[in-house]
């Protein structure tokens, strides 16, 4: 079979196919279903230049249903044929064009090799004349789901919902999976941890779009224990039931039944299927699928119960994760100290948890006054970023405070004592640390001097008021906890008026996509540009501008400014 192509490539003829194709768009896919070639006719039909499509997943980038929604991968016949390695064709389909419109097409997919010899597939697209076969298409859409489609939908529900630990995102994904495929309305009622009922989601399919009805969401009356109405029974964990026009016509037996009757009246729903959402240990809520007409669309209670069961497991996991986050947030507030109010010094701190980790970790900062009227400052990073690392961090920080308060020694002496004790008295394995003392700088205008020792930590950054930035690259001694007997060294520098001294952890500068030196350069550049901003603004903007997008570690900042 010869395919018209902008670069003259031909394709292998599928078994039983025609000998010549005119006016066909062609997409050539590699072994990962990525687009590697696009002919001129496909460019014309789809309104894309070939360069805009090359390398993209063909299904995710182009394939849509008749409403413009991304077709689930598990139920896509073209993908099934692609993975099976057999030719297949479809009488109708829709591809998204460059201007956002939908192109109705007939398609054919057949295995072939790419120009590089990779096993892939070729998709041929023919524009589908409006009206041709529309009656058959619409009739096919109204048919009940086949057993294969049911299994595909359930697999899609499982994989889609379990891939997020955010409750609201899980609800959004659930409604997109069932509307409009199974119903025109989806309502999700959740039971809160305080045993209140909250209508968390009301979504309607209207004019090709999913419309969120915020006006119908919010608190609901309590669950009545004796009510026989469908929603009340579902929220108590009873089996799923169908509700019809007659369900809410009689006198309501509880406040929640009044709310349900109002919902039916406002939405125009006449038929609904309502199923409990079960977690492992308790009922989490109820899922309602509603329809204005044709009750058979919502009559598949077995499918609805399977969907609700899978949704329950995903929601319970998300709730447990969010509960853990709240616990760790409380732990963080108690572990990270409040800053002292020292005359002649301004201080600001920031802590940002790892995006995918717990809300606390091994990164920490500290600042506190000492008996000799100096101010101690510290920043460190205990290996790990979970609750164990946070607990070890608290031990190290508290021991450092005790040694600093008890001994009038230079910073190196205090850190050496901490190093020796850490190996025998804490759960921490390794940690980086900068510990320093700030002397002077009071309101009397005396000179201000900082001395510090560095145990394997990124260097402090000194930024003057006129925007000169300098890393204080003193001798860097080994990490604490390493078990190395070394003589630690001290460094010192005068702090000019209006300067900013910045301590930070490596999460601010490290990235998987660039070298550490690039992160340090970026920090220096932005800190210099922000030198005259108020200290809190300085910290906020520095975090937003410098922290790498692919950062997967905690970040702690401690900024000290000497006023003029």
Mean pLDDT of the chain: 84
- Confidence category of residue 24, pLDDT binned at 50, 70, 90: confident
What is the distance between the alpha carbons of residues 163 and 317, in angstroms, rounded to a whole number?
A: 10
Residue length of the chain? 564
What is the band of 356 on the pLDDT scale with cuts at 50, 70, 90? low
- Beta-carbon count within 10 A of 283 CB: 18
**With the C-alpha atoms ordered 533, 537, 538, 544, is the resulting torsion angle positive or negative?**
negative
Which of the residue ranges 88-97, 172-181, 384-393 has the most confident prediction, judged by mean pLDDT? 172-181
What value does the mean pLDDT take over residues 433-461?
Answer: 87
Share of the chain above pLDDT 90, in %: 45
Q: What is the pLDDT of residue 136?
A: 42
Neighbour-count burial of 335, counting CB atoms closer than 10 A to its CB (0-12 exposed, 13-18 middle, 19+ buried): middle
Q: What b/e string do you get for 77-116 counting C-beta neighbours within 10 Å, with b at 16 or more?
A: ebbbbbeeeebbbeebbbbbeeeeebbbbbbbbbbbbbee
Whether residue 429 is predicted with pLDDT greater than 70 in this model: the reply is yes
Bridge partner residues of 453 (DSSP)? 435
pLDDT tens digits for range 44-85: 999 999 999 999 999 889 988 877 888 777 677 788 778 877
pLDDT over 90 (residue 220): yes
Q: Is the model more confident about 266 or about 483?
A: 266
Span between the terminal Cα atoms of the chain, in Å: 81
Q: What is the pLDDT, as a whole number, of residue 341?
A: 85
Confidence of residue 14 (pLDDT cuts 50, 70, 90): very low
Predicted local distance difference test score (pLDDT) of residue 5: 37
CB 213, CB 244: distance < 8 Å: no
Instruction: Quote the pLDDT of residue 536.
Output: 95
For residues 14 and 1, is the Cβ–Cβ distance under 8 A? yes
- Measured between alpha carbons, how far is 119 from 395 in angstroms, rounded to an integer? 58
Mean pLDDT of the 336-354 span: 84
Phi, psi of 380 (to 5 degrees): -155, 175
Q: Is the pLDDT of residue 138 over 60?
A: no
pLDDT of 430 over the 70 cut: yes
Strand ranges for 86-161 from DSSP E: 88-96, 102-113, 119-127
Per-residue pLDDT reduced to its tens digit, 288-325: 999 988 777 777 888 999 999 999 999 999 888 878 77
pLDDT score of 19 more than 50: no
Q: What is the pLDDT of residues 226-259, one digit of tens each?
A: 888 999 999 999 989 998 888 887 787 889 999 9
Contact call for residues 292 and 138 (beta carbons, < 8 A) = no
Sheet holding 25-29, edge to edge: 35-38, 25-29, 119-127, 102-113, 88-96, 63-64
Q: How confident is the model at residue 134 (pLDDT cuts 50, 70, 90)?
A: very low
φ/ψ of residue 276, rounded to 5: -70, 145
Three-state DSSP state, 457? coil
- Judge whether residue 428 has pLDDT over 60: yes
Please state, in angstroms and rounded to a whole number, the distance separating the CA atoms of residues 3 and 11: 6
Q: What is the pLDDT of residue 105?
A: 87
Sign of the dihedral through C-alpha 444, 492, 467, 544 = negative
Over residues 118-146, mean pLDDT: 63
Which domains does the chain possess?
A: 25-142 (3.30.450.20), 147-325 (3.30.450.40), 337-561 (3.60.40.10)
At residue 353 the predicted structure's pLDDT band, cuts being 50, 70 and 90, is confident
User: Nearest 5°: phi and psi at 389?
Assistant: -65, -35
């Amino acid at each position: 079979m010869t395919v018209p192509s902008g670069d003259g490539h031909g394709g292998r003829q599928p078994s039983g196919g025609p000998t010549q194709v005119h006016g066909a768009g062609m997409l050539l896919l590699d072994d990962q279903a990525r687009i590697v070639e696009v002919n001129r006719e496909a460019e014309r039909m789809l309104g894309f230049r070939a360069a805009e499509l090359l390398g993209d997943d063909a299904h995710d980038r182009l394939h849509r249903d008749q409403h413009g929604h991304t077709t689930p991968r598990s139920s896509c016949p073209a993908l099934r044929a692609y993975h099976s390695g057999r030719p297949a064709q479809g009488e109708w389909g829709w591809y998204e064009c460059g201007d956002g419109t939908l192109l109705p097409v007939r398609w054919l997919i057949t295995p072939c090799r790419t120009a590089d010899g990779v096993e892939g597939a070729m998709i041929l697209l023919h524009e589908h004349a409006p009206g041709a076969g529309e009656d058959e298409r619409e009739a096919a859409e109204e048919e009940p789901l086949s057993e294969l489609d049911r299994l595909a939908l359930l697999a899609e529900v499982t994989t889609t919902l379990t891939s997020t630990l955010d409750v609201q995102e899980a609800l959004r994904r659930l409604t997109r999976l069932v509307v409009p495929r199974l119903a025109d309305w989806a309502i999700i009622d959740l039971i809160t941890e305080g045993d209140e009922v909250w209508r968390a989601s009301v979504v309607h399919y209207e004019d090709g779009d999913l419309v969120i009805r915020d006006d119908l969401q919010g608190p609901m009356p309590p669950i009545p224990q004796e009510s026989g109405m469908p929603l009340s029974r579902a929220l108590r964990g009873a089996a799923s039931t169908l509700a019809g026009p007659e369900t809410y016509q009689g006198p309501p037996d509880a406040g929640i039944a009044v709310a349900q009757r109002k919902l039916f009246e406002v939405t125009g729903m006449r038929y609904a299927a309502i199923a409990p959402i079960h977690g492992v240990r308790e009922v989490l809520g109820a899922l309602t699928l509603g329809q204005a007409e044709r009750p058979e669309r919502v009559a598949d209670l077995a499918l609805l119960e399977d969907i609700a069961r899978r949704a329950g497991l995903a929601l319970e996991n998300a709730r447990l994760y969010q509960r853990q986050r709240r616990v760790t947030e409380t732990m963080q507030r108690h572990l990270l100290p409040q800053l002292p109010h020292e005359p002649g010094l301004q201080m600001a701190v920031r802590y940002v948890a790892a995006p995918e980790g717990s809300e606390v970790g091994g990164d920490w900062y500290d600042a506190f006054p000492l008996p000799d009227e100096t101010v101690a400052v510290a920043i460190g990073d205990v290996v790990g970023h979970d609750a164990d690392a946070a607990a070890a961090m608290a031990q190290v920080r508290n021991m450092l405070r005790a040694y600093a308060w008890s001994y009038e020694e230079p910073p190196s002496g205090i850190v050496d004592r901490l190093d020796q004790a850490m190996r025998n008295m804490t759960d921490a394995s390794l940690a980086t640390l900068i510990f320093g003392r700030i002397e002077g700088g009071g309101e009397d205008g005396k000179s201000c001097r900082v001395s510090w020792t560095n145990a394997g930590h990124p260097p402090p950054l000194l930024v003057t008021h006129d925007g000169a930035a300098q890393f204080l690259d003193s001798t860097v001694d080994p990490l604490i906890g390493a078990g190395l007997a070394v003589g630690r060294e001290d460094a010192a520098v005068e702090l000019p008026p209006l300067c900013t001294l910045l301590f930070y952890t490596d999460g601010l500068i490290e990235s998987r996509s660039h070298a550490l030196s690039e992160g340090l350069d970026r920090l220096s550049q932005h800190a210099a540009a922000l030198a005259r901003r108020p200290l809190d603004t300085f910290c906020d903007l520095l975090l937003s501008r410098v922290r790498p997008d692919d950062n997967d570690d905690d970040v702690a900042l401690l900024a000290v400014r000497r006023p003029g």
